[in-house]
Structures are given as structure tokens and as C-alpha cells.
Amino acid sequence: MNADALNTLNEHLLTALAPAPAETRRLFHGRGRRWPGLEQLTVDWMQGVVLVSLFKEPASVDLDALKRLLNDLVQTPTWQTSQAHTLLLQHRYLPDSLTEALVGEMPDEWTLTEGGLRYLVDFGKKQNTGLFLDMRYGRDWVRANASGKRVLNLFAYTCGFSVAAIEGGADFVVNLDMSRAALSRGRDNHRLNGHDLSKVSFLGHELFKSWGKVKSGGPYDLVIIDPPSFQKGSFLLTKDYQRVLRKLPELLSADGTVLACMNDPALGADFLVEGVTREAPSLRFEQRLDNPPEFADAEAGGGLKALVFRQGCN
């Protein structure tokens, strides 16, 4: 993070905050690799809270310079009119992802809005806040395509897809995730949006030991797969994704749809297309969803991969 890189960051933040977004958005996506020296830094607008995340430990002189820039930002008229009140710096490279409050006090819990829907997030407790902002268009797509459908949400995390599906008129959603705490937050998210919880189930199980439970809730009209790239002891994307794809034909209805997602920068969309062709040949690739413009990547086809497949289409 040399002086030129920090000047670039400062210009982007001043532009992005004038005016501040009405809903939660990424303000700066260094991990898109478009700005040299800032590849390991992101900045998110959390509606009053500005969250700066460092993914690699910087030199101490660079960290000091970044903090000076951020403290100077808080003194600008742009910050004052943005209605921002809290500035957090998260050290994602540390085992506990230490988050320090540079300005204001860290909220124990915070509510974000996306597409008119509300989601609870946490700061300073976990590596991730509870809502992946790059999946906004994926949630929009689910909301637009869920009406009247039975939905299976695998690796559900805090159930963002489930909230979108119920809001879009889904008949029923089954959420599965091995983290019961994440599912509990998902239940909170549904309540926050006034949803009927009789239309939602939450299975706190490890997927590969729970196929019977998953299958018993089907067949499903829409299956969403959004796994971590790596989860110690339970999921390795390059090895285990194909095991999930292999089960799709017995989970889907005759005209079912799959939204298969992946965010490993080392793998392209062809990993999913070829995997589905091999493991679930009755499915046909239909489209790759766009990523939000603020997540633009220097490499064509980079960033989040969210692909739609349909059963039996020609």
C-alpha cells in the first residue's frame, strides 16, 4: 500500500460516499485485482457502519498509513453528510479476525437492508458478518424465480437465499447447514421480515451424513448449492462438489432448476459446467448470473460464479 495506492483508495471512498448508498453495498473491492497495492483490502457500507477488511497482514508502516487515511476521511464533509457513525477495521488474516473500532462503538448486532429485505449481521465476532454482499444478484434471482416452488438450500449459512425465496412466494424451503448457530440467525432473519416459519425448516446436519433427511423433503423444484471452498473436516470444493452434483437427479422434480455457486478464484465456471455434465447429465446449463458491478474483476469470468441449470431443457 504505497502512497499512490492509498490516494486511489481515498478517491474511491470519497466518490462512493457522495452520496452514501441507500442500502448495504461494497464501496471498494480491492480483491477484484484492478488496483495495484490494494488487492487485499475491501470496504463495505453497512448503512452507518463502514467496515474495512484486510485479508493479508500489511507492513506496520503501511497499516499506520491506512489508519491515517481513514482517520482523515472521517474529518471530511463527505463523511459528515453520509450519516456514517462507525468505522471498523477488520484484520481477516488473524485467526480470530480481530476487528477494531477506529471511530464509534462496535454494535453487538446490526440490521442491513437489501432489496427491501432485512438481515441481521455481527461485527467483531466471526470472520464473516453473516451476509455475503457479492451474492446480491443471486438472492434477487431466487426471489424472482421461487414462486410456488419447493426449495432446497444447501450450505444455507444464515439463510439469505431462504429469506429471498419465501419473499418471492416459495411454498416451502428446507435449509441445511452444519452450523446450528448460523441457522438460528437464519430463523431470526425470517422473523425480521415477518415470514411464516411454518414454510421453512432448518436442518443442522452435515450434508454427507444426511441425504435421507434431505431427500425425504423432496422432490424440490429449486436446489441452491453455495458451499464454502473449504470447511475443515467436512467440505473440500475440488473433491466434494461432485458428490453433491451426483445427488441432484434424485432430489429434483421433473422440471427442476439448480443454482450452483462457487467463489474460488482458482476455478472458473467450467468447473461447474463440466461437473454437472458429468455427474447430472439430465441437467443443462442455462446462464451465469451477473455479479454486482461493484465486484468487477480484472480477469474476465473472475469473481463469484453463480450458474443456473435446468432439468430436461434442450
The pLDDT of residue 207 is 87
Q: What angle do CA 99, 125, 263 make, to 5 degrees?
A: 85
The pLDDT of residue 124 is 84
Residues in Cβ contact with 243 at an 8 Å cutoff, skipping those fewer than 6 apart:
208
One digit per residue, pLDDT tens: the chain, 314 residues? 788 999 999 999 999 999 999 999 999 999 999 999 999 999 999 999 999 999 999 999 999 999 999 999 999 999 999 999 999 999 999 988 999 999 999 998 899 999 999 999 999 878 899 999 999 999 999 999 999 999 999 999 999 999 999 999 999 999 999 999 999 999 999 999 999 999 999 999 888 888 889 999 989 999 999 998 756 656 788 889 999 999 999 999 999 999 999 998 888 999 999 999 999 999 999 999 999 999 999 987 889 999 999 987 54
* Closest by CA position to 243, among listed 275, 221, 265: 275
With beta carbons less than 8 A apart as the criterion, state whether 165 and 205 touch.
no
The pLDDT of residue 144 is 98
All cell numbers assigned to 274: 463440466
What string of DSSP letters covers the chain? --HHHHHHHHHHHHHHTTTPPSS-EEEEEGGGS-STT-TTEEEEE-SSEEEEEESSPPPHHHHHHHHHHHHHHHTSHHHHHHT--EEEEEETTSTT--EEEEES---SSEEEEETTEEEEE-SSSSSS-S--GGGHHHHHHHHHH-TT-EEEEET-TT-HHHHHHHHTT-SEEEEE-S-HHHHHHHHHHHHHTT--GGGEEEE-S-GGG-HHHHHHT--EEEEEE---SEETTTEEHHHHHHHHHHHHHHHEEEEEEEEEEE--TTS-THHHHHHHHHH-TTEEEEEEPPPPGGG--SSTT-S-EEEEEEET--
The pLDDT of residue 234 is 63
Q: How far is CA 130 from CA 210, 222, 265, 295, in A?
A: 24, 23, 21, 18
Instruction: Give the separation between CA 120 and CA 175, rounded to whole angstroms.
Output: 17
Instruction: Give the separation between CA 33 and CA 41, rounded to whole angstroms.
Output: 10
SS3 assignment for 237-268: HHHHHHHHHHHHHHHEEEEEEEEEEECCCCCC
The pLDDT of residue 30 is 96
With beta carbons less than 8 A apart as the criterion, state whether 217 and 174 touch.
yes
With beta carbons less than 8 A apart as the criterion, state whether 257 and 222 touch.
yes
All cell numbers assigned to 127: 470472520
